[in-house]
Homo-oligomer: A and B are copies of this chain.
Amino acid sequence: MPVLLQAPDPAQILPVPGVRLGIAMAGVRKAQRKDLTVLLLDEGASVAGVFTANRFCAAPVQLCREHLQQDLGIRALLINTGNANAGTGSSGLNDARQCCAALAQLLQLQPQQVLPFSTGVIMEPLPVDRIVAGLPAALAAVRADAWAEAAEGIMTTDTLPKAASRQIQIQGRTVTLTGISKGAGMIRPNMATMLGFVATDAVIAPDLLQPLLREVADASFNRITIDGDTSTNDSFVLIATHQAGHAPITALDSAEGRALREALTALAQQLAQAIVRDGEGATKFITVQVSGGRDEAECRQVAYAVAHSPLVKTAFFASDPNLGRILAAVGYAGIADLDQSRIELYLDDVHVVTGGGRHPSYREEDGQRVMRQAEITVHVNLNRGTAQALVWTCDFSEEYVRINADYRS
């Protein structure tokens, strides 16, 4: 049951001039599911992508990297669910190439102008025939206002589609940003999340797109974790169609560049947090904030140790302020010279630990009050520097095990 998350209202998810979307049921794994999504981009659009750091990256991820590098101008994205085409060796790569070639042929493009994305079961051969057979229906359905439907088309174990829009003004012109994301398990992005697609009609120098995307990914999809399992297929793609009609943005630190970055970051954070809110079996949304570190890396290390501890996560599920488990995770995070006597711990506004032990004024009922909430912030102060970091995660319930023990059946 998602944590304070609702299905987007399709009327609120705005089209982005230069992008059309078509969704079809190809029966990739199961019948009667929207499992095939095509995004068509007008000529002149720029595309940047960040992908999983998993060394066992999927065939479509390898192909995305190749096609982006060849730089013939990306004109279509092809996304299937039901099968990740990962752990499939060289035949998986051929399968992904065939899908790109089939879509390219229908659109009179080069195969290198298509980016493929797959999500679903690992180590099963991709049913190329069924995907290719589904392409005409997807193309026949393309519309500019199909983002909300596309958010459904890319779902796997997600219980709700994830989509969001924003508009900003640049030089008196309205610039639209719309994005969709998916993912609920195997989530500990390391570059980007399972799948995230954001498009804008902002006019921006194409070589700024990749650094902008990295910065936005680091502040959004790279800060979430559900189970610590970095997927083989994580991909986050930013599309700029350049159709908003304002003068091009040529520097990220210009006023216009900052406005775009802020709007993009807010949108990407909303989409990333939606993945955590819809985490498999999640009942709580937890922000782990670590401050007082020597550098950001050690703050992240501690935040992830807390966010990944099954004991911490089950205590949140139980609304049990068994907060010593958080201290234990801080202690084993791998900071060799950590001085436990300096650690402070807060649960929202409740000061739980000072000097490495229970705060004199801490009362169990105060901890209990916060633990019952649907959204909780854990704040650990290491008191050894000025750096900080934060990570968003969810709790760990019996439902997580049930979902992942049943996933293929």
Contacts and interface: CB of A to CB of B under 8 A. Distances in A.
Contact of A56 (B123, B230, B322, B330): B330
A409 B404 CA distance: 27
Contacts of A110: none
B357 A227 contact: no
Contact of A54 (B87, B331, B402): B331
Top 7 nearest A-B pairs by Cβ distance?
A89-B357, A122-B324, A56-B331, A123-B324, A318-B405, A230-B332, A314-B404
A401 B404 contact: no
Nearest to A62: B340
Interface in A72-123: 84, 86-92, 121-123
B54 A332 contact: yes
B401 A311 contact: no
Contact of A327 (B87, B322, B323, B355): B87
A406 interface: yes
Given A54-B328, A56-B328, A122-B322, A404 B185 contact: no
A408 B311 contact: no
Given A308-B228, A405-B314, A332 B86 contact: no
A89 B404 CA distance: 39
Contacts of A320: 405, 407-409
A197 interface: no
Contacts of A328: 54, 56, 86-87, 122, 186, 229-232
Given A232-B331, A320-B409, 19 more contacts: A54-B328, A55-B335, A56-B343, A56-B356, A89-B356, A89-B357, A124-B324, A188-B332, A227-B310, A227-B311, A229-B309, A229-B310, A311-B404, A314-B401, A317-B405, A320-B407, A322-B408, A397-B401, A398-B405
B323 A123 contact: yes
A152 to B, nearest CB: 24
B322 A121 contact: yes
A202 interface: no
13 contacts: A54-B331, A55-B340, A56-B330, A90-B341, A91-B357, A227-B309, A229-B309, A229-B328, A232-B327, A310-B400, A314-B401, A317-B401, A320-B407
A357 B90 contact: yes
Interface of A: 53-57, 84, 86-92, 121-125, 185-186, 188, 190, 227-232, 308-311, 314-315, 317-318, 320, 322-325, 327-332, 335-336, 338-341, 343, 353, 355-358, 396-398, 400-402, 404-409
Which of A336, A339, A404 gathers most chain B CB within 10 Å? A404
B53 A311 contact: no
Contact of A88 (B314, B339, B357): B357
A56 B309 CA distance: 15
B86 A53 contact: no
A227 B328 CA distance: 13
B332 A53 contact: yes
Contacts of A329: 229
A92 B356 CA distance: 10
A227 B227 CA distance: 12
A86 B227 CA distance: 26
A336 to B, nearest CB: 8
